[in-house]
Structure 1
Amino acid sequence: MIPFSDEELYEPVLESLNVVLPMLQRDGGGMELLGIKNGVVYVRLTGHCHGCAASSQTLKFGVEKQIRNDIHPELIVVNIPIGQEFDLEKV
């Protein structure tokens, strides 16, 4: 059980994502924070990260690992691909 509300997680998650963002940018990629709901962090990988064969590895072993180390070990990160509709209220 994650002891934080989604609202309380927003700023710490954003700070944690900013730690890994330079790594993505060095390879021509990027990432947007779309929202957080029930301990699941929804992001969109952009640039060269979008559609990259290694993007799932980047997501789990880069982005998710950083967030879990920084904030809480039960947080999950999900990528919403470019072009896929996303509505946090419908998740």
Structure 2
Amino acid sequence: MSLFEEVQKIIDQLRPFLQRDGGDCELVDVEDGIVKLRLMGACGACPSSTITLKAGIERALMEELPGKITEVQQVW
């Protein structure tokens, strides 16, 4: 399984939490340990989106894939 597929699998597990609040995310790319995500719906314009991205998604990916992920970045 590629790193992209591993990340996608974890994001799919997190997706219901985002959707519950009217948001969603799309995995755009994984390159050199950097995950690029597009936040959509309510998450795209939410003032707490940075917290969701860093404290939620990034933390979960780093815990599940130790040493493979260095950062999660939001792309537009």
Give the TM-score taking structure 2 as reference length. 0.90
Match of 2:74 among 64, 79, 85: 79
* 4+ runs deviating over 3 angstroms: none
RMSD over aligned Cα atoms: 1.4
Where does 1:42-57 land on structure 2 (aligned, <5 Å)? 42-57=36-51
CA distance in 1, matches of 2:67, 2:58: 9
Shift of residue 80, structure 1, vs aligned partner: 0.6
Identical columns (%)? 35
Where does 1:1-91 land on structure 2 (aligned, <5 Å)? 8-73=2-67, 75=69, 76-81=71-76
Aligned length: 75
Give the TM-score taking structure 1 as reference length. 0.76
Structure number with larger C-alpha Rg: 1
> What code does the residue aligned with 2:56 have?
G
Structure that is richer in helix per residue? 2
Which ranges of structure 1 fall in alignment gaps of 5 or more residues? 1-6, 82-91
Which ranges of structure 2 fall in alignment gaps of 5 or more residues? none
